[in-house]
Each structure stands twice: as structure tokens, then as C-alpha cells.
Chain A
Amino acid sequence: EAGVAQSPRYKIIEKRQSVAFWCNPISGHATLYWYQQILGQGPKLLIQFQNNGVVDDSQLPKDRFSAERLKGVDSTLKIQPAKLEDSAVYLCASSASRLAGETQYFGPGTRLLVL
């Protein structure tokens, strides 16, 4: 079974530029998550999708971050404009459902450096 795919793996941009990340979850997984992991911290949930609908975006900085999952499969996370403090690893994860005990499987992440 193929895992969660993400691209690009690395991205370097200057502040105030925009950037987009792509995620393809495990086949059949209805729930998709985007996390931000700053160096030395644990992952922090940004947004959670159930199929193509948002179920939790309470920690997403909506003035600069946006995400979509138009067909209930792939997802894109965008930052516009980027700030220095956005430098982090952006992790995509998926699970078969959003039940309390459901295991989340993580992709390899996209490392973003904002200069």
C-alpha cells in the first residue's frame, strides 16, 4: 500500500512570496490533515478535512494560509504572503476516518525555509 505522498520536499522562498504544498493521501482515506512542525516542537494541526469538507480549521492562520481538497482526494496548502516564522516542516497525514482511535499516517513532509 502506497503511503502519503507530498511535494515538493524542500522549498526556499523570500518573505512576502507565496508558496503551495501538495498532498496525496493513502488510497481510500477519507480524513486528511495538515500539520506545521517548527524545529524542536511537536506537530501542530492546521486543518482537517473529511472528504472535501473542512471539519476543523481553528488553528489555521486564515489571513495568510488557505487549504482545499476539491475532489476529496488530493489537497493543497497555500501560504500567501509568507513570513519568516512560517519556516517549518509541513506534514500531511491521512486516516481512514475521523474516529477517536483512528491511526494517522504521515507523509515525508515539505521543509520550508523563508528568508
Chain B
Amino acid sequence: QKEVEQNSGPLSVPEGAIASLNCTYSDRGSQSFFWYRQYSGKSPELIMFIYSNGDKEDGRFTAQLNKASQYVSLLIRDSQPSDSATYLCAVRTPGAGSYQLTFGKGTKLSVIP
């Protein structure tokens, strides 16, 4: 069974600090990795995705992928109170007839002003 594990938190960081969110996955056939942000009562919105080992930067966000360790992380630099949300890690693996997106339970981030 495909599993995506995240620490549920809450993770509290002071404003301006770096927030580090981690995710591990079980299926070595996983091919693409996504980070979604979900505000309370809202639907998930894509922050960024990564396919290759290494780092990918987009503004204040950096995604890191290590396929050998089956580990994905998201770093948020200069954290702002508006970053307070649940962050969902999602992993895309070949499934029945197509590619299936499997989500973790999410990590709740709280940025303290």
C-alpha cells in the first residue's frame, strides 16, 4: 500500500524564521512530488512540485527531494503569519490505469507574529 507520512504538528515558528516541513513515502516507483497548502476551510492549492533529486527554489519556498532516502521536504524562508496553514505532501505513482496522487495527512504550520 502506498503511504505518505508527515508529522501532523502543529509546527510553530516565529515570524521571519525558516519553517521546515518533512515527508517520507513508501513507493520507490514514485515519480513526481507536490506540496499543497490548505487554509482552514479551503481547498488545497499547489505551492510547488519537484521531479528530480536535489533542490528547487521558488521565491521563499525550496523543495528538496532525495529519492534514495524516499524523502521530500519544503523549506519556507522568512515565514509570515499568512503562511499559517496545513501543508500537504502528495506523491504521484503509477496506479490502476494511470498515475495516482497519494496525499499525506498534512502538517499544520503556525507562524507566530
Residues of chain A whose beta carbon lies under 8 Å from any beta carbon of chain B: 31, 33, 40-45, 48, 50, 55-56, 58, 91, 98-101, 103-109
**Shortest Cβ gap from A112 to chain B (Å):** 14
Q: CB of B46 within 8 A of chain A?
A: yes
Q: How many A-B residue pairs lie within 8 Å, measured between CB atoms?
A: 62
Q: In the bound complex, do residue B4 and residue A42 qualify as a contact, i.e. CB atoms below 8 Å apart?
A: yes
Kindly identify, within residues 54 to 100 of chain B, every residue whose CB is under 8 Å from any CB belonging to chain A.
88, 90, 92, 94-100
- Assuming the contacts A42-B103, A44-B103, asked whether A106 and B95 have C-beta atoms less than 8 A apart, the reply is no
Q: Enumerate 15 A-B pairs (CB-CB under 8 Å) in ascending A order.
A: A33-B101, A41-B106, A42-B4, A43-B103, A44-B103, A45-B100, A45-B101, A48-B98, A48-B100, A56-B95, A56-B96, A56-B97, A100-B92, A103-B34, A106-B43
Nearest chain A residue, comparing its CB with the CB of B92? A100
| Minimum C-beta distance from A21 to chain B (A) | 14
Chain A residues with Cβ below 8 Å from B94 are: 100
Residues from chain A with Cβ under 8 Å of B100 in the complex: 45, 48, 56
Closest 8 CB pairs between A and B? Answer: A42-B103, A55-B97, A106-B43, A55-B98, A100-B31, A98-B98, A56-B96, A100-B99
- Inter-chain contact B106/A108, CB cutoff 8 Å: no
Extra pairs beyond A45-B102, A48-B98 (18, CB < 8 Å): A31-B98, A42-B4, A42-B103, A42-B105, A43-B88, A43-B103, A45-B100, A50-B98, A55-B96, A55-B97, A56-B98, A100-B32, A100-B92, A101-B51, A104-B101, A106-B45, A107-B43, A108-B42
CB interface residues, B 33-61, toward A, < 8 Å: 34, 42-46, 49, 51
